[in-house]
Amino acid sequence: MCVGLVMSEHSAIDVEPVSFGERLATSPVFAALFRDGMALVEETASYLDGPGRQESKKLPRAASLVYATESMRLTTRLMQLASWLLLHRAVKEGEMSLAQASKEKTKVRLSTGDRGDPQAIALLPEKLQGLIARSKKLQTEVMRLDATIHAPIGEPRTWSNPVERQLGLLKAAFEQDRV
């Protein structure tokens, strides 16, 4: 009886921890983010090609320049976010591994970059302001998820507790918010 207990404890230590990043990439959280992100891309394209174009023609010259600049930033931001979402959907669908997605995601720029002047953005039509705000919120969510999914694993080591690595990944993800 004592031998069985020792063997099961030993087996639990030898088992690799579950990859939190891989699980998160295939989770309902990711599915909802993907759905919302792609819907925002579609809504933005529809707005900029239709009502947004009409609204931009009615703007004064200074606001028109801001409109052109911010709509370009918005579309660029959304293209990068859509690329990231599509890469990770491929992981979810089993079309590529998380390691392959990590390699490919280096081509995607998630950084916040120039956030735009709030006073200048206030000159824009309300709908465009809302789309910009929603895209920035999506960007923050994707960056948080990216930091969690792709948290560096570090040097291989023997884990004294199978949950220890997962707690470290969680800690790293929440520390990203403070930066």
Burial class (CB in 10 A: 0-12, 13-18, 19+), 124: buried
State the pLDDT at residue 109. 84
Q: What ranges do the domains of the chain cover?
A: 19-145
CA distance linking residue 44 with residue 135, whole number of Å: 9
Q: Looking at mean pLDDT, say which of 10-14, 74-78, 106-110, 174-178 comes out highest.
A: 74-78
Contacts 24+ apart (CB under 8 A), 60-66: 62/123, 63/123, 63/124, 66/120, 66/121, 66/123, 66/124
Q: What is the mean pLDDT of residues 103-127?
A: 85
pTM: 0.71
> Per-residue pLDDT tens for 7-58?
444 444 455 555 555 666 667 888 899 999 999 999 999 999 999 999 999 9
Q: What is the band of 94 on the pLDDT scale with cuts at 50, 70, 90?
A: confident
State the pLDDT at residue 130. 97
- The domain 19-145 having CATH identifier 1.10.8.930: the answer here is yes
The torsion angle over the Cα atoms of residues 109, 117, 142 and 47, rounded to 10 degrees, is -100
Maximum CA pair distance of the chain?
Answer: 84
CA distance linking residue 37 with residue 35, whole number of Å: 6
> Per-residue pLDDT tens for 126-178?
999 999 999 999 999 999 888 888 776 654 445 566 676 677 667 666 654 44
Q: What is the mean pLDDT of residues 94-99?
A: 87
With beta carbons less than 8 A apart as the criterion, state whether 158 and 14 touch: no
* 87: phi then psi, degrees, rounded to nearest 5: -60, -45
